[in-house]
Amino acid sequence: MKLIIANNYNDLSRKAANIISAHVILKPRCVLGLATGSSPIGTYKQLIKWYEQNDIDFSEVTTFNLDEYVGLSGKDPQSYRYFMENNFFNHINIDKSRTHLPNGVAEDCFKECDDYSNLLNEVGALTCSF
């Protein structure tokens, strides 16, 4: 594990975006593990900025998020799917079929977890987890 010290939130966001963008640039078909919540928003904004400047291409990237709220569909404003789409995916050229989050309204949560784990295993190891 490598510890990276940041001076403030903006510095942290940029450093995290640098690490993620390096993975995407060096391995366009990489598999990213992404986070939700307020902490990564600055990183997503920086990645969006670089995408808009044609510095990074997400067209072949696959993503996985760790969690979703049980009982919420991806269209619910409180869901992690909604968060990811509005804070990142809708602003870059990622293929939405390659963005994966658990289904919060699955009939069988345990089966959904197994299916999600199996999908991750089929795709391969995460190249970079954030």
Which element (helix H / strand E) includes 63? strand 62-65
Sign of CA dihedral 107, 83, 26, 55: positive
Task: Please state the rounded mean pLDDT for residues 45-50.
Answer: 98
Structure token digits, residue 37: 């919540």
Structure token digits, residue 119: 């999908």
Cα separation, 19 vs 6, whole angstroms: 13
> pLDDT tens, 62-109?
999 988 999 999 999 999 999 999 999 999 999 999 999 999 999 999
With a pLDDT cut of 90, the percent of the chain lying above it is: 87
Residue 7 has a pLDDT of: 97
